Amino acid sequence: MSRAKGKPRQGKAASRKNGKIIVVGISLLVLSFFNLSMVNSDATNFAGRIASFLFVLSWVTIFYGILKGK
């Protein structure tokens, strides 16, 4: 039951893809905090309209990357 030395495990590719999804989610999270810094007090500008959606989308992306599995 030994595997050949040159062949990677099947889990490596899935793990790397999950890592990329998590990095995209973290990047969206950083972008959402930057976006929140541009919101005016009553949130009537464009940044105020998309701030909550961008924040939630970033966390959904992170959780998807964690829970996706193999």
Q: Would you place residue 16 in the very low, low, confident or very high pLDDT band (cuts 50, 70, 90)?
A: confident
Global model pTM greater than 0.85: no
Predicted pLDDT at 7:
54
- As a whole number of angstroms, the distance between CA 9 and CA 14 comes to 10
Q: Residue 66's closest CA among 32, 19, 24?
A: 19
Q: Total domain count for the chain?
A: 1
Percent of the chain exceeding pLDDT 90 equals 47
CA distances from 52 to 9, 19, 37, 49 (A): 39, 24, 12, 7
What's the chain's average pLDDT?
Answer: 85
Q: Residue 2: inside a domain, yes or no? A: no
Q: Residue 4: inside a domain, yes or no? A: no
Predicted pLDDT at 44:
87
Predicted pLDDT at 4:
58
Q: Residue 70: inside a domain, yes or no? A: yes
Mean pLDDT computed over 18-38: 93
